[in-house]
A = this chain, B = another copy of it.
Amino acid sequence: MKIVVTVMLKDGVLDPQGRAIGHALGNLGFAGLNEVRAGKVIELDLAETDPARARQFGEDMARKLLANTVIESFRVDLPTP
């Protein structure tokens, strides 16, 4: 089954990439942007078919490799097909 791990910088951590995207959008004429934050999304297709175990597996992978939990937070989603 598919799981989606989304990794974002924690609130309060400076996000230069998001800032740069916000500036670039402003220069292109997009107004009314309060805040822009950038992150990563990792879609994993697992052999595991049990949703609870797949979620646990995703959290383990995020903690061990996908996210730097000092400055990043992560979320594991199980998209409905």
B41 touches A39 (CB 8 A): yes
Report B-chain residues with C-beta under 8 Å of the C-beta of A8. 41, 43
The interface size bin for chain A is: 20 to 34
B41 touches A36 (CB 8 A): no
Report B-chain residues with C-beta under 8 Å of the C-beta of A28. 64-65
- A75 smallest CB distance to B (angstroms): 10
**Contact sample, A vs B, 18 pairs, CB 8 Å cutoff:** A8-B41, A18-B42, A25-B65, A28-B64, A28-B65, A31-B47, A32-B46, A32-B48, A33-B46, A34-B47, A35-B44, A36-B42, A36-B45, A38-B42, A39-B41, A39-B42, A39-B43, A40-B41
